Every structure is written in structure tokens, then in C-alpha cells.
Structure 1
């Protein structure tokens, strides 16, 4: 196989240090074209827009749009035959099925898969600090190497015949981390109206402001660091889950499909048949 043609994008914006690190590593794997958001688009999932503004960039283009916009434009508008899409390195983890579902980093990979290309989404975490923030103070070289190496090895096999997207969470600070195949953790809750700054504030027109606070890790508030409670999380999350791998400072690789699956139900046929009986 000749050197693959790789589309690189992210959700932190084209100037993010994680993207620069990943681009450097991917140039050793194939020909890299960057089409990335003009500014930060974190947390937008697979949101798409009908129009976007394109800007020239030394690495390719920046787009005033979402990560999915970038992928859609690049794959369908550049006239380039790409072999794979890589998204990242995100400056924070994307683990757990709820977070994965709203991640712009992963959303770019999902858009690629629907358009017929395999994808790798790479996110970084710090095994002590959790979020590598501010990103300028962290080195994204290790997650970038993991992502580039994983793409190269997967393209050389039949991995992408069965898998649409590899969602990767890699530590920035663990030397020679073990890599583990994982599944996204099903763990999510929501707290409504408990933020003193927003709870049921009367706006004067009959409307009420409420707070909707995600709880994506147990025993933490919002996006605070859950790793000081690592022992508790280790018992909560079984081996094979993406969050257990992160608690143990490993590289989590979750193979995903994007067709939303097809659930079998023994009771549903009776429910549907009963609609005709009414």
C-alpha cells in the first residue's frame, strides 16, 4: 500500500497544540491535509451547518464550522481521495458513552464513518491532573504517537472492515503505558437547579432560569478531577471499561460502529401489532 492520504481535524481549533503534535506524528505515516475549525468547537458532537467560511492555512484550511463540517467539506469538497480521518489530539478525555456521544472530537470521526472512511479519534488525559489544562503547559507528543501508530497498524490489517471508529484516550504523563481494548462506560447523571447562581432565578416575565449540571463521573462535580478518588473508581468501573483503563493510567482503545445498531426485542412485535388492533 502506498502512503495513505490522511485528513486531520479536531474540535479545539486549528491552533491547538494537540493538533500540531498529531500532525507531526502523522507525517511519518502518510500525506496529511488539515481541515480544522477556525476556533474552539468543543462539545458540539456531530452538529452540522449548511454554510461555513473557509480560510487558507499553511497546513490546509480552517473552517468557521464544527468538526463534522470540516470532515464533510474535506471529504466531499476538496477532490482528494482520503484513506482515513484522524481527529485530535483533544486536550481532555472523551470517555464514557454519554461524553463520547457529545464530543466534537468523536463527532468528526462519526461523520467520516458515515461518509465511508475509517477514523481514529485521539484524546489526551493526565493521570494525576485529569484535564491537561491549560494545554500549552502539557506535551501531547505521547498521545499523538499512540494515535499515529494505531492508525498505521490498523490500516495494515482488516481492522476497519469491522470497525468504523477507534476512540482513543491516552495519558500525556505515563511512560510506556499499556494499551487496552475497552468499551465506553455507561455512567451518567444530571443535577437540575442546584447551582446557587442559577437555581430558579425569576426573570420577571414568568420565565425561570435553571441549572443543568452534568455528572459524568461519580462523586465529582461537573468536570472536576476524579482521579483523587481512583480507588473508589477502580471498584466502580470493571476491567474492560474505558474509565477503568484511565484510572490505571492506560491507553484506552474503544472500537465503535456508527450505524446506531439494531436492537432485537421479543416484546416489541406484540406492541406494534396491537397498534393495528385499535
Structure 2
């Protein structure tokens, strides 16, 4: 594919270090138009807005909405016929079914896939530090270069067809990481705390991302602690390179690739109706056979 038209977005905001470096690298591959959130929109998944505010940017536009808004506007609101969408480079990994399901980075890719445009969602992780925070202290050059290489190879191989979505996690600190075909691992749990102290719960924790808790409201305060990175306290690395973690996360999973410091590439699908259905088909046949017996 020569000089492809590329739509670039992210969920960390237009000024994010990961997006800046990815833009710099992608311009060597094709014509890049940026439509990105004006502010950080991490963790919003595929959330969409009914209306947004657009502002001009030297690289394209910013929107007051979500990553999915940016992709929807870019693909349907601009005159460009984009060849594919790139979302990232996220400051931190998106690995595991639950995390990818609520990721704004991946959510942008899902929106693109539903609109018939192939997409790559790319996230960066540090093999030792895990989260690159603050992002300004890290070099996102390697994930950006890997993304360009992968996009070029995927396009040349004819993989960029309508509905294609690749979720990619790239280590920042591994000199020559191996690339691994992976599947998202469903590794998640939840801890419920009753009679929680309202003073310990900030606005983001409360119902509605911009909500809060009214101290005068009657009822029991319930706090739900998500364990998206199981057995982790705070921001410690949940995937250290130990035998214990290699045994916990099976080979071929995206989280095992992070343990091994590899590039994880997981093809995702927007078709959620292709699971094994033999048992359900039998239930439906039984139901149909019993119709009219009442």
C-alpha cells in the first residue's frame, strides 16, 4: 500500500507523548490526519457523545469527546477516505479481556471496525516499571516504530480488510522484543466493600465519572474495588518476569507476552455471535418442540 491515508487518535489526549511520537513515525508511512480528544479520556471504552466541540489543530482536529467520537467524526465527517485507523500510543498496556473492553484506545479501534475501516490499537508498557508514568520520562519511539512496521506488513499482506482490529502491546525497555500472536486473557475479579467511608471516595469513584457522593444521602455506601490487574497493590508491576507468573498466564495469552517482555498482537472481532452454540441450539429446539403444550 503506497502512501496510505491514516487517521490517528488516542485516549490520553492530543498532547500525549505517545501520540506525538506515533505521529512523527507514521508521517514516514503515509498521509496522517489526527482527530484526538482535547483532554484525557482514558477508560471510557466505546462511549459516544451526541454532540462535541471541534477545534482546529496543526495536525488535524481536537474534539471535546471520546476516542470513539474522534474516529466516528474522522471517518464520517471528513472528506478523506482513510485506509486504516491507528489508536495510541497509549501510556500503559491494554491486556486482558476486561481491560481491553473498557479501554478508550481499543474502543476507538472497535468504532473504526464497526464503520468498516481496519484499525490498530497500540499501547506501551515498561517491562520493569509497568506504567510509564510520568509519560514525559519515557521514550515512545520503539512502540511507534513497531506500529509503523506492523501496519506496513499487514497492509502488504492484505490483512487490512473491513472489520480488522489488532490490539498491540509493545515494551518500551526491551531492545529487540519478539512479536507474539496472542489472545486476550479473561483475568478479572471484584471486591465489594460495604459501609465504606464517603470521605475516602472521590468523584471518579462515584456513580457517574463526574459525579460524587452526597454526605446527606441515606443508605449504605458500597465501594466496588476492581481487580483488573489481579493480586496487585497500587501501581506495582503485575507481570514481573518470574516463573510464578509464567505459570499463571498461559503461553499464547496477551498477559503472558507482557511477562516475557514481548510484543503482543491480538486480533479482535466485532462479531460476538460466533461462539460454540451446540448446547444453546439444543435448548432452542427443546423450546420449539414444547410450544403449544401449555
TM-score when scaled to structure 1? 0.93
- Paired with 1:175 and 1:123, the residues of 2 have a C-alpha distance of 17
Out of 243, 250, 256, the residue aligned to residue 268 of structure 2 is 256
Out of 204, 213, 218, the residue aligned to residue 206 of structure 1 is 218
Note the C-alpha offset of 1:222: 5.7
The residue that corresponds to 2:73 in the other structure is: 73
SS of 1:130's equivalent in the other structure is: coil
TM alignment of 1:44-83, pairs within 5 A: 44-83=44-83
SS of 2:34's equivalent in the other structure is: strand
Note the C-alpha offset of 1:91: 0.3
Q: For the Cα contact (< 8 Å) 1:216–1:223, is it kept in 2?
A: no
Q: Do the aligned partners of residues 37 and 162 (structure 1) sit closer, same or farther apart at CA in structure 2, a change above 3 Å counting?
A: closer
What stretches of structure 1 of length at least 5 have no aligned partner?
none
Note the C-alpha offset of 1:211: 1.4
SS of 2:108's equivalent in the other structure is: helix
Note the C-alpha offset of 1:162: 8.4
Q: Do the aligned partners of residues 202 and 42 (structure 1) sit closer, same or farther apart at CA in structure 2, a change above 3 Å counting?
A: closer
Note the C-alpha offset of 1:4: 0.3
- Provide Cα deviations, 1:66-105, integer angstroms capped at 9, x if missing partner: 0000000010011111000000000000000110011000
Matched, 1:36 2:36: yes
Q: Do the aligned partners of residues 264 and 231 (structure 1) sit closer, same or farther apart at CA in structure 2, a change above 3 Å counting?
A: closer
TM alignment of 1:104-119, pairs within 5 A: 104-119=104-119
Matched, 1:168 2:178: no
The residue that corresponds to 1:219 in the other structure is: 231
- Paired with 1:62 and 1:202, the residues of 2 have a C-alpha distance of 34
- Paired with 1:35 and 1:109, the residues of 2 have a C-alpha distance of 13
What stretches of structure 2 of length at least 5 have no aligned partner?
202-212
Q: For the Cα contact (< 8 Å) 1:214–1:222, is it kept in 2?
A: no
- Provide Cα deviations, 1:208-241, integer angstroms capped at 9, x if missing partner: 2221111123321365321447332111111111
- Paired with 1:240 and 1:2, the residues of 2 have a C-alpha distance of 33
The residue that corresponds to 1:237 in the other structure is: 249
Aligned residues: 277
The worse-fitting range, judged by mean Cα deviation, of 84-93 and 214-223 is 214-223
Q: Do the aligned partners of residues 173 and 274 (structure 1) sit closer, same or farther apart at CA in structure 2, a change above 3 Å counting?
A: same
The residue that corresponds to 2:94 in the other structure is: 94
Note the C-alpha offset of 1:165: 0.6
- Paired with 1:82 and 1:28, the residues of 2 have a C-alpha distance of 16
Q: For the Cα contact (< 8 Å) 1:119–1:166, is it kept in 2?
A: yes
The residue that corresponds to 1:20 in the other structure is: 20
- Paired with 2:234 and 2:45, the residues of 1 have a C-alpha distance of 18
The worse-fitting range, judged by mean Cα deviation, of 238-247 and 189-198 is 189-198
- Paired with 1:113 and 1:92, the residues of 2 have a C-alpha distance of 22
Note the C-alpha offset of 1:260: 1.7
The residue that corresponds to 1:274 in the other structure is: 287
Q: For the Cα contact (< 8 Å) 1:202–1:208, is it kept in 2?
A: no
TM alignment of 1:119-134, pairs within 5 A: 119-134=119-134
- Paired with 1:215 and 1:159, the residues of 2 have a C-alpha distance of 34
SS of 2:242's equivalent in the other structure is: helix
Q: For the Cα contact (< 8 Å) 1:41–1:66, is it kept in 2?
A: yes
Q: Do the aligned partners of residues 56 and 263 (structure 1) sit closer, same or farther apart at CA in structure 2, a change above 3 Å counting?
A: same
